[in-house]
Amino acid sequence: NFPRLVLNLLFSCLSLPSSTNYRQVLYFRIFWSGNTDPWPPRPHSVYTPSTSLSQTFTNLTHLLYWPLTPGDGGDLLASTSPKTSTYHLRHPAQATYALGSYLEVVLVARDQRGRPKTHGGDLFQARLLGPGLKAGVPGDVQDLENGTYLLSFPLLWAGRAQVQVRLIHSSEAVGVLRRIWREHWATVDFIGYFRGPKGDEENVSCNVTPLLTREEDSFCYYKDEDSGELWFCAQPPTLACSMLVGHSAGHYWNVTTSHEEALLAWNLTDKLLPQGIVLSPARPCYPAIPAPKPSGFYHQDVWHSLACSNRHFPTADSILGCLAGHIIHMMGDSTLRQWWEYLRDTVPSLKPVDLHALYQVGPLMAVETSRGIVLHWRAHSWPLRSLRTPVASLHSVARELAGLAGGPHTVVVLGLGAHFTTFPPSVFARRLAGIRAAVMALLNREPSTLVVIKLANTGYKSVYGSDWFTLQVNRLLRAAFAGLHVAFVDAWEMTSSLALPDNIHPNQLIVRNEVDLLLSFICPT
């Protein structure tokens, strides 16, 4: 029986500590049917809501399906092993292969005793490399759910090619990650800083639901009027809810058993299994262009899109020529801030402006006055793992988008995902619902605005942030903006196609190629 993903909507009348009497509070919980583990205590009263998410976000079963993992009974040797798992060509080897055809490989997952697995659910990552050409392309991994996987690679360059497969997480480790979402709701908390009129301070726990603040019956809540999103803090001992002045990351929670920690340990995680005339599309890069799979490949350390003829901007002058007359608004996490930093460091005449803000959160700005270039970056709002930050600096993406007039000189770049891997997908779905509505409104009032979505990249390998979590986040990102006139930069594939160490903050070679693809959408010809 396949698992079904169910979205529960819980609404509660909550007595607030402020002057307001009652408000509606919306909770989202996602769980897999058949689960017998209890949830945290529910709010006391339930009634019918007046607000609902679109069908796109309430029906997540198709998007987030992942095969269930049978229990291993605490036997670590029953988990999938990168040392004993093997792969071979699906068909007899040929002397030559035609450019544009596909190479198919069968992977057999085995446990640490060398026995073939009988179920799927492992997270494998595959790529085809051309070491002498500095070429690489990601492979498609199809889980046949019987312990075998079909890998498919497009043949895009002439010369020697090598299949490389990594086990990111065993199916048993994925089961641990799934349990964390199901039972704990979060793996981190946050700190809210309250200051009274005489300078006295009180610090309390904050989070995405009051159930995670340790104070279910007495808490403060804050509503974003643009998106409708809520943020909760425990009620300070003596100060009022309105006295919240600061926000920061709190603590990572211990949510795993010793057996689960062994399944997620370094020796079983992200391990390599033992063992070209470039066909370039002719059409320029533009929003809403169909996305092939894979979306591109590296050759000589340069990314070549299979969706469009992406351009390359090797000099400061070429970048300036493209950005001239544009205002770029970047909103998201630190992996998107890397784009701002790359442009600042690569173009000497692009001068940073000191806005006296916390660098980690922003806002950051750089300008090139002679060519009319303004480059902005700021972090998205909570949940944000950050140093202590003024609450006033935490702007919601939906609100920022509502304040943009748009037009042919406006470029909006959104990079979301990394800070949402510590929560179940319903939290991210709610964020995306508000942002999608804001993007639609922006494009309706000014269709010539360019909106670019940066998908989340690889790099996380722990229970607090895993590539498995990120993969689900990217599925939701694509679904959220499907059908809109927006462009995508597939950072997931661009960070998983070269023989480079995985890092949540990829090195400059990858960042340069990501920015080049962004510039290709700004300046397609």
Tens of pLDDT, residue by residue over 229-239, are 899 999 999 99
Q: H/E element holding 5? A: strand 5-15
> Are 238 and 20 in contact, with CB atoms under 8 Å apart?
no
Q: Residue 131's pLDDT is what?
A: 76
What angle do the packed helices 316-323 and 508-522 form, to 10 degrees?
40
Return mean pLDDT, the chain: 84
Backbone angles phi, psi at 513, to 5 degrees: -70, -35
Residue 88 has pLDDT above 50, yes or no: yes
pLDDT at 26: 38
Phi, psi of 103 (to 5 degrees): -105, 130
Q: What average pLDDT does this structure show over 14-24?
A: 35
* Residue 107 φ then ψ, to 5°: -110, 130
Give the integer Cα–Cα distance in Å for 150 and 89. 10
pLDDT for res 130? 83
The predicted structure's pLDDT at residue 60: 66
Cα–Cα distance, 364 to 414 (Å, whole number): 15
Residue 118 — left, alpha, or beta (φ > 0 → left; ψ -120 to 50 → alpha)? alpha
* CA pair distance 192, 383, nearest whole angstrom: 12
Residue located via tokens 């299949």: 163
Measured distance CA(481)–CA(435) in Å, rounded: 9
pLDDT beyond 90 at 34 = no
CB-side exposure of 253: number of CA atoms within 13 Å?
Answer: 18
Q: What is the pLDDT of residue 267?
A: 87
Question: Which amino acid, 491?
Answer: A
- The per-residue pLDDT for range 352-409, each reduced to its tens digit, is 999 999 999 999 999 999 999 999 999 999 898 999 999 999 999 999 999 999 999 9
Say what percent of the chain tops pLDDT 90: 56
User: Is the four-CA dihedral 393, 429, 32, 63 of positive or negative sign?
Assistant: negative
For residue 29, the model assigns a pLDDT of 40
If one compares 282 and 197, the residue with the highest pLDDT of the two is 197
Strands 364-368 and 140-143: unpaired
Q: Is the pLDDT of residue 217 over 80?
A: no
Q: Do residues 297 and 135 lie in contact, with contact meaning Cβ atoms separated by under 8 Å?
A: yes
In the block, which residue shows the tokens 């997620």?
264
How far apart CA 67 and CA 3 sit, in angstroms, is 8
**Can you tell me the distance from the alpha carbon of 335 to that of 491, in angstroms, rounded to the nearest whole number?**
10
Is the pTM of the predicted complex or chain greater than 0.85? no
Half-sphere exposure of 227 (CA within 13 A, CB side): 27
The predicted model gives 196-207 an average pLDDT of: 93
